[in-house]
Amino acid sequence: LLFPAALRTAAAAATISFSLLAGNAAAVAAVEQPSEICRGQDDGREVEVKAEAVTNEQLVEEAWEVVNEGFLPDAGSRPWSPELWMQRKQDILQGSIKSRSRAHDIITKMLASLGDPYTRFLSSSDFSKMSKYDMTGIGLNLREIPDDNGSLRLVVLGLILDGPAHSAGVRQGDELLSVNGIDIRGKSAFDVSSMLQGPKETFVTIKVKHDSCGPVESMKVQRQMAARTPIFYRLEKRDNENSSVGYIHIKEFNAVAKKDLVSALKRLQNSGASYFVLDLRDNLGGLVQAGIEIAKLFLNKGDTVIYTTGRDRQVQNTIVADSGPLVTTPVMVLVNNRTASASEIVASALHDNCKAVLVGERTFGK
pLDDT digits 0-9 by tens, 106-150 = 999 999 888 887 788 888 777 655 544 345 678 888 888 877 776
Q: Is 77 a catalytic residue?
A: no
Tell me the residue ranges of DSSP E strands in 1-75: 36-39, 46-49
What is the β-pairing status of strands 331-335 and 357-360? parallel
For residue 187, the model assigns a pLDDT of: 81
Phi-psi category of residue 149: left, alpha or beta, with phi > 0 → left and psi -120 to 50 → alpha:
alpha
Grade residue 40 by pLDDT with cuts at 50, 70 and 90: very low
Q: Give the pLDDT of residue 159.
A: 79
Q: Count of alpha carbons within 13 Å of 91, Cβ hemisphere only?
A: 10
The yes-or-no verdict on residue 250 having pLDDT over 90 is yes
Confidence of residue 74 (pLDDT cuts 50, 70, 90): confident
pLDDT of 289 strictly over 90:
no
Q: Are 304 and 320 in contact (CB under 8 A)?
A: yes
DSSP H helical ranges for 200-256:
none
**Torsion sign, CA atoms 301, 302, 303, 308:** positive
Highest-scoring range by mean pLDDT, 105-114, 130-139, 153-162, 251-260? 105-114
* Cβ neighbours for 111, distance < 8 A, ≥ 6 positions apart: 28, 63, 67, 119, 120, 121
Please check whether residue 226 is in contact with residue 254, taking contact to mean a CB–CB distance below 8 angstroms.
Answer: no
Q: Rounded to an integer, what distance in angstroms lies between the CA atom of residue 136 and that of residue 165?
A: 10
Report residue 19's pLDDT band, with 50, 70 and 90 as the boundaries: very low
Q: What is the gyration radius of the CA atoms in the chain, in angstroms?
A: 23
Beta-strand pair 244-250/273-279: parallel
Average pLDDT of the residues of the chain: 80
Quickly state the pLDDT bin for 227 (edges 50, 70, 90): low
For domain 127-223, the CATH architecture is Roll (2.30)
Please state which CATH class domain 231-360 belongs to: alpha beta
Residue 86: strand, helix, or coil: helix
Known catalytic residue: 366? Answer: yes
Catalytic residue among 207, 258, 296, 366: 366
Residue 42, pLDDT > 70, answer no
Active-site entry in 131, 341, 343, 348: 341
How many Å apart are CA 306 and CA 312, to the nearest integer? 17
37 has a pLDDT exceeding 90: no
Backbone angles phi, psi at 81, to 5 degrees: -150, 160
Q: What pLDDT is stored for residue 224 in this prediction?
A: 77
**pTM above threshold 0.75:** no
Q: Give the count of beta carbons closer than 10 Å to the beta carbon of residue 296.
A: 23
Domain ranges of the chain: 56-121, 127-223, 231-360
Indicate if the pLDDT at residue 281 is higher than 70: yes
Out of 128-142, 160-174, 275-289, 341-355, give the one with best mean pLDDT.
Answer: 341-355
Cβ(74)–Cβ(89) under 8 Å?
Answer: no
How many CB atoms sit inside 10 A of residue 2's CB? 7
Residue 105: which H helix or E strand, with range? helix 100-112
* Torsional sign, CA 149, 150, 154, 158: positive
Q: Is 119 helix (H, G, I), strand (E, B) or coil?
A: coil
Query: Confidence band (pLDDT; 50, 70, 90) for 238?
Result: confident
User: Which pLDDT value is given to residue 233?
Assistant: 97
The pLDDT of residue 244 is 93
Q: Work out whether the CA dihedral 141, 10, 106, 32 comes out positive or negative.
A: positive
Q: How confident is the model at residue 30 (pLDDT cuts 50, 70, 90)?
A: very low
Confidence of residue 17 (pLDDT cuts 50, 70, 90): very low
Task: Give the list of residues 6+ apart from residue 33 with CB closer than 8 angstroms, or none.
Answer: 51, 52, 53, 54
Cα–Cα distance list, 189 to 17, 157, 219, 241 (Å): 14, 11, 19, 52
Sequence-separated (6 or more) residues with CB below 8 Å from residue 331:
275, 276, 277, 278, 298, 350, 355, 356, 357
Does this chain's domain 127-223 share its CATH topology with 231-360?
no
Contact 32, 124 (CB under 8 A): yes
Q: For residue 136, what pLDDT is reported?
A: 67
